[in-house]
Amino acid sequence: MNYLITGGMGLIGTALYKKLKKKGNKIYLIDNKKIKISKRDLNYKKVDITKEKLKLKKYINDKKIKVLIHLAAFLGVADTEKNPKKVMNVNFSGTKNVLDACDKSKVKQFIFSSSSEIYGDQNKKFTETLHPRPKSLYGFSKWQAELLVKDFCSKRKINYKIVRFFNVYGPRQKNAFVIPKFIKLALNNKNISIYGNGNQIRSFCFLEDAIEGLNQVIKFGKKNTIYNIGNDKEPITVINLAKKIIKASNSKSKIKKIPFYLSDRKKNREIFKRIPNIKKIKSDTGYNPQTNLLGGINRILKN
């Protein structure tokens, strides 16, 4: 089977590549990054999905792609808050370009990587049937891109699957994200800043578990369906996450509370409770995340 992964050099893309490669599939990667010579053994092509639709279309047809996994996105709280035009250009218009490039191709299955950000604040665990209430432009861009995927694929008779990731973390993740950021500060014995009272609740999913969930959806997920991918076993407040990381790293760091107006996400953009409901993916694919939070943190510390 021939697969194409957009955003293939990102955290999830590189891990998924290794997973699919082991199964003997032909995996092609695109991204807008230049790569080192040592990585040129990859089936990689530099493509900017916001500008090079025709180049992408030719690549899809030449490689006879059957499954396209669209991971490319502009993300990160601070970056997306500061660059609203780029958010919509990459996440919405870029997705439209990728879809258009699939027109009259051999693509039979389109996998779209969405986000738990689309839910906004809800009063219960986030099930796939909840109406999206995004509080950030990033969440809104992902929701609108989901609608594009549904509309395009239904008209072209391409099967789609949409996955909404919940707080994925793992080795080599950028320090802009909360767990690697806290770990870096802890290892350097620097103060860890949390916003507000630190009682925001998150449920983190280790990278390997997220990739296994995505792989299970690709193989066994029902067509034209949305799935949450996350780990619902250990919801934790941000302040307790900081304490756990300080203890695990034997750090001398102190926790410092600062007001939201000094944060990278203003209070009206904050989601105060984000816990996935993963009954659907468990039922349909047998997915069951294995890595507990402390185990995942220790894996990063040893990396």
Q: Which two tokens stand for residue 239?
A: 């302040």
The answer to the question of residue 179 being in a domain is: yes
Say which CATH number the domain at 249 has: 3.90.25.10
Same domain, 26 and 151: yes
3-state secondary structure at position 141: helix
User: What is the pTM for the complete model shown?
Assistant: 0.95
Q: Where do the DSSP E strands lie in the chain?
A: 2-6, 26-31, 44-46, 67-70, 109-115, 159-165, 168-169, 192-195, 201-202, 205-206, 225-229, 236-237, 255-258
Same domain, residue pair 122 and 242: no
| Residue 191 and residue 111 share a domain | no
- Whether residues 178 and 158 share a domain: the answer is no
94 contacts 31 by C-beta, under 8 angstroms: no
69 lies in the same domain as 86: yes
pLDDT tens-place string over residues 267-280: 888 899 999 999 99
- Residue 160's pLDDT is what? 98
Residue 286 falls within a domain, yes or no? no
Can you read off the two tokens belonging to residue 211?
Answer: 């990739």
Q: Structural domain of residue 250, as residue ranges? A: 169-203+233-275+291-302
| pLDDT band (50, 70, 90) for residue 254 | very high
The number of domains in the chain is: 2
Q: What is the pLDDT of residue 64?
A: 97
In this predicted structure, the answer to whether residue 135 has a pLDDT above a threshold of 70 is: yes
Task: Identify the CATH number of the domain in which residue 50 sits.
Answer: 3.40.50.720
Is the confidence at residue 85, as pLDDT, over 90? yes
Mean pLDDT for the chain overall: 94
List all residues 6 or more positions away from 287 whose beta carbon is below 8 Å from its beta carbon: 212, 213, 216, 217, 229, 278, 281
Q: 3 near 20, Cβ under 8 Å?
A: yes
**281 domain residue, yes or no:** no
Q: Are residues 184 and 159 in the same domain?
A: no
User: How far apart are alpha carbons 36 and 184 in whole angstroms?
Assistant: 25
Instruction: Find the helix or strand (DSSP H, E) in which 241 lies.
Output: helix 238-248
Please indicate, yes or no, whether residues 15 and 96 belong to a single structural domain of this protein: yes
Higher pLDDT, 38 or 276: 276
Q: Are residues 147 and 88 in the same domain?
A: yes
Share of the chain above pLDDT 70, in %: 97
For 154-180, write each residue's pLDDT tens digit: 999 999 999 999 999 999 999 989 999
Both tokens of 221, joined, read: 């997920």
Q: What are phi and psi of 41, to 5 degrees?
A: -75, -10
pLDDT digits (tens, 9 = 90+) for 200-230: 999 999 999 999 999 999 999 999 999 999 9
Segment 251-276 mean pLDDT: 88
Can you give the pLDDT at residue 228? Answer: 98
